Amino acid sequence: MQQYSQFHSCNMRKGRHSEIGQYYFLTAVTHTRRPVFYNFRAARICIGSMRIQHEKGLVNSLAFVIMPEHFHWLVELRQGKLSDLMKKVKGETARRLNIHFEKSGRFWQPGYHDHALRTDEDLRQTARYLVNNPLRAGLVENLQSYPHWDAIWLE
């Protein structure tokens, strides 16, 4: 299983194209799917790393959710490449979490998943799907009681 996972992760990076102004649904998974983000502080560190990229103007962050072992992030790419963006988010998060947990070593699985959205109509539907992940996973019965999500559209 691990061999397939590593192979699949490498395949996901082939043929990737970044386009400024394009909307992307991004997903990154922790190493060995370790549920690190059950820890409140760890989840907030990850969110902080994402917000830094928004504040620097690399992305317009539209929605995100931090799940126990992965995150989903809906963004509009404003500068650079997706690979550089994800390298920055994953690197900053890993560095800060290794300090927080007084550990070292790998924190994230290699690679990430991205999906380019086609229309504005897709944005709200994708954001709704993204932020409802804690409900579908049975982590909460009410989305308002889950602290690790945000969206520019609050309904």
Q: Residue 138: inside a domain, yes or no?
A: no
Domain harbouring 54, CATH code: 3.30.70.1290
Q: Residue 146: inside a domain, yes or no?
A: no
Residue with tokens 């990154």: 28
Quick: pLDDT tens for 86-131: 999 999 999 999 999 999 889 999 999 999 998 766 898 899 999 9
Domain span at residue 47 reads 2-132
Neighbour order of strands in the sheet with 149-151: 113-116, 23-29, 70-77, 59-66, 149-151
The pLDDT score that the predictor gives to residue 122 is: 83
Q: Residue 149: inside a domain, yes or no?
A: no
The pLDDT score that the predictor gives to residue 25 is: 96
The pLDDT score that the predictor gives to residue 1 is: 42
Q: Residue 87: inside a domain, yes or no?
A: yes
DSSP state of 68: S
Give the Cα separation of 5 and 94 in Å (integer). 20
Of all helices (H) and strands (E), which one includes residue 116? strand 113-116
The pLDDT score that the predictor gives to residue 128 is: 92
The pLDDT score that the predictor gives to residue 45 is: 97
Residue 28 is encoded by which pair of tokens? Answer: 């990154």
Q: Is the pLDDT of residue 10 over 60?
A: no
Quick: pLDDT tens for 17-75: 789 999 999 999 999 999 999 999 999 999 999 999 999 999 999 999 999 999 999 99
The count of structural domains within the chain is 1
Backbone angles phi, psi at 45, to 5 degrees: -65, -45
Give the Cα separation of 128 and 120 in Å (integer). 13
Residue 51 is encoded by which pair of tokens? Answer: 């917000």
Give the Cα separation of 117 and 123 in Å (integer). 7
Q: Residue 153: inside a domain, yes or no?
A: no
Q: Judging by DSSP bridges, how do beta strands 59-66 and 113-116 pair with one another?
A: unpaired
Quick: pLDDT tens for 130-154: 999 999 999 999 999 999 999 998 6
pTM for the structure as a whole:
0.87
CA nearest 114: which of 67, 75, 143?
75
The pLDDT score that the predictor gives to residue 73 is: 98
The pLDDT score that the predictor gives to residue 11 is: 47
The pLDDT score that the predictor gives to residue 121 is: 66
Q: Is the pLDDT of residue 2 over 50?
A: no
Q: Residue 43: inside a domain, yes or no?
A: yes
Q: Residue 108: inside a domain, yes or no?
A: yes
Backbone angles phi, psi at 62, to 5 degrees: -100, -35
